Amino acid sequence: MAAVELHNVSKRYSGTTAISDLSLSVERGEVFGFLGPNGAGKSTTIDILLNYIRPTSGSVEILGKDVRRNPVVVKKRVGVLPDQYAVFERMSGRKHVEFAIRSKGADDDPTDLLERVRLESAADRPATSYSKGMKQRLMLAMGLVGSPDLLVLDEPSTGLDPLGVRVMRTIVREERERGATVFFSSHILEQVEAVCDRVGILNEGSLVALDSMDGLREAVGASSQLTVTLDRVTDGVLDELDALDGVTAVDVEGESLVVACENTAKASVIDAVRVDGNTVQNITTDEPSLEDLFVSYTTEEP
Ligand SMILES: Nc1ncnc2c1ncn2[C@@H]1O[C@H](COP(=O)(O)OP(=O)(O)OP(=O)(O)O)[C@@H](O)[C@H]1O
């Protein structure tokens, strides 16, 4: 049984399509990164899967239950770190956690939860006096109440200090070890890269990539750009490169050739440019990063 299933979900606001026919399945025990630039539709998707808003069409199942037909069951088994939150006036961090425990009918020890998010020394201060990162860690402690089967983290790294980023990563790993599923949304690839098993990239309301981190790395690593500076660029060199398998583009910049090619073709490129007795003066390679891949998926046709 999947932890999260979206079946052909669309959401239209007057004049705006926020989500378009989105289908997605997240397995139990998986840490899933939900990536996309601002306005891609991440929060809308999360609001639909948490049953905060109704989709225009399509349906959502969480842990095998339709969220519209079983809202209470779903709520009990899901922990959320929301994108937007406010703390209660005059209530300490500890009181916030105790409130969450009561609301969920759980029996967690508030001190344990506050220690997990490294707020033990500030636990009895009013939460209104916390920094943004501390408030976010407090919300995370509240999301962990009741050992949820699914933890939904909406943009969890915004506003976090380095300690907060470490706490977040540790907790995601601990939750995965416990067997929980984590659905982690972010517009920052680096933050999902460190913890996620699989990522989906959302752009303008549609999923444009869905792969394991390793799969994405392979896709990125499969091609690179070589810049080869020669003593002179001859027609013979260009003909040789044109004829090579795995070369996708060649640009001439003065005495340099900028060659886009598959990684496996790099050695042949270096051999080919030596035709006509040319001498190689310099070679540099430019490997695209996962960040480049994210940008390419979200700004142009991949
Ligand atoms: N209540 C609303 N009324 C009208 N349009 C909305 C509403 N909520 C979201 N939208 C639009 O839907 C689209 C998706 O917004 P959404 O907030 O889901 O994106 P996001 O990926 O979460 O962005 P961000 O990273 O900035 O939070 C945007 O074009 C947004 O303007």
Q: What's the pLDDT tens digit per position in 26-78?
A: 999 999 999 988 889 999 999 999 999 999 999 999 999 999 999 887 888 99
Tell me the C-alpha distance between 52 and 54, whole Å: 7
**Summary mean pLDDT of the chain:** 90
Determine whether the shortest distance from the Cβ of 49 to ligand 1 is under 6 A.
no
Range from 91-100, 162-171, 186-195, 254-263 carrying the lowest mean pLDDT: 186-195
Residue to substitute in 42, 47, 152, 186 for testing ligand 1 pocket (most ligand atoms within 8 angstroms of CB):
42
Determine whether the shortest distance from the Cβ of 18 to ligand 1 is under 6 A.
yes
**21 has pLDDT over 50:** yes
Across the range 220-242, mean pLDDT stands at: 87
Q: Which sign does the torsion angle of CA 12, 2, 294, 177 carry?
A: positive
Report which of residues 55 and 213 the model is more confident about: 55
Say what the pLDDT of residue 173 is.
Answer: 93
* Residue 86 CA to ligand 1 centre (angstroms): 20
ipTM above 0.90, yes or no: yes
Nearest CA to ligand 1 atom 18: 41
pLDDT digits (tens, 9 = 90+) for 278-295: 889 999 988 777 777 777
Sheet of 16-27: strand order equals 16-27, 2-13, 57-62, 65-66
Determine whether the shortest distance from the Cβ of 44 to ligand 1 is under 6 A.
yes
User: pTM of the full predicted structure?
Assistant: 0.80
Pairing of strands 57-62, 206-212: unpaired
Tell me the C-alpha distance between 120 and 193, whole Å: 29
Three-state secondary-structure class, residue 222: coil
Determine whether the shortest distance from the Cβ of 187 to ligand 1 is under 6 A.
yes
Report which of residues 85 and 141 the model is more confident about: 141
Residues 6+ apart with CB under 8 A from 104: 76, 145, 146
Tell me the C-alpha distance between 299 and 190, whole Å: 18
* Residue 131 CA to ligand 1 centre (angstroms): 26
Relative to the CA of 43, which ligand 1 atom is closest? 22
Nearest CA to ligand 1 atom 7: 13
Report which of residues 22 and 217 the model is more confident about: 22
Position of tokens 């490294």? Answer: 118
* Residue 302 CA to ligand 1 centre (angstroms): 23
Determine whether the shortest distance from the Cβ of 39 to ligand 1 is under 6 A.
yes
* Residue 43 CA to ligand 1 centre (angstroms): 7
Written as one letter, the residue type at 136 is Q
Say what the pLDDT of residue 45 is.
Answer: 96
207 and 40 Cβ atoms separated by less than 8 Å: no
Residue to substitute in 14, 17, 43, 203 for testing ligand 1 pocket (most ligand atoms within 8 angstroms of CB):
43
Across the range 200-213, mean pLDDT stands at: 90
**129 has pLDDT over 90:** yes
Say what the pLDDT of residue 302 is.
Answer: 43
The dotted CATH code for 2-218 is 3.40.50.300
Determine whether the shortest distance from the Cβ of 43 to ligand 1 is under 6 A.
yes
Quickly state the pLDDT bin for 206 (edges 50, 70, 90). Answer: very high
Say what the pLDDT of residue 300 is.
Answer: 58
Domains of the chain, by residue range, sit at 2-218, 222-299
CA distances from 289 to 132, 193, 217 (A): 31, 12, 8
Say what the pLDDT of residue 187 is.
Answer: 78
Relative to the CA of 36, which ligand 1 atom is closest? 21
CA distances from 286 to 81, 216, 218, 233, 251 (A): 38, 17, 15, 21, 15
- Using a pLDDT cut of 70, give the percent of the chain over it: 97
Say what the pLDDT of residue 67 is.
Answer: 94
Report which of residues 266 and 223 the model is more confident about: 266
The dotted CATH code for 222-299 is 3.30.70.100
* Residue 39 CA to ligand 1 centre (angstroms): 5
43 and 105 Cβ atoms separated by less than 8 Å: no
Say what the pLDDT of residue 192 is.
Answer: 80
Say what the pLDDT of residue 96 is.
Answer: 97
